Amino acid sequence: MNYILDFVKQGGVVGYILVTMNFIGYAIIIWKIISLVVFNKTVQPRLTDKVIHRVVTCNTDHHIITESIRTEIELAFSPLTKGLTTVENIASISPMLGLLGTVVGIFKAFTVIAASGLDDPSAFATGIKFALVTTVLGLVVAIPHVLAFNYLNARMEQEQDEVENQVLLCLGKILRDRDGRRSEGVSNG
Q: What is the pLDDT of residues 29-74, one digit of tens each?
A: 999 999 999 988 988 878 888 887 777 666 666 777 778 888 888 8
Specify the pLDDT at position 185.
61
Q: State which residues of the chain have pLDDT below 50.
A: none
What's the angle, vertex CA 41, arms to CA 35 and CA 42, rounded to 5?
85
From the list 185, 182, 170, 158, the residue with the least C-alpha distance to 69 is 170
Euclidean distance between CA atoms 157 and 164, whole angstroms: 10
Euclidean distance between CA atoms 129 and 126, whole angstroms: 5
Question: pTM of the entire structure?
Answer: 0.81
Specify the pLDDT at position 18.
95
From the list 159, 166, 165, 160, the residue with the least C-alpha distance to 49 is 166
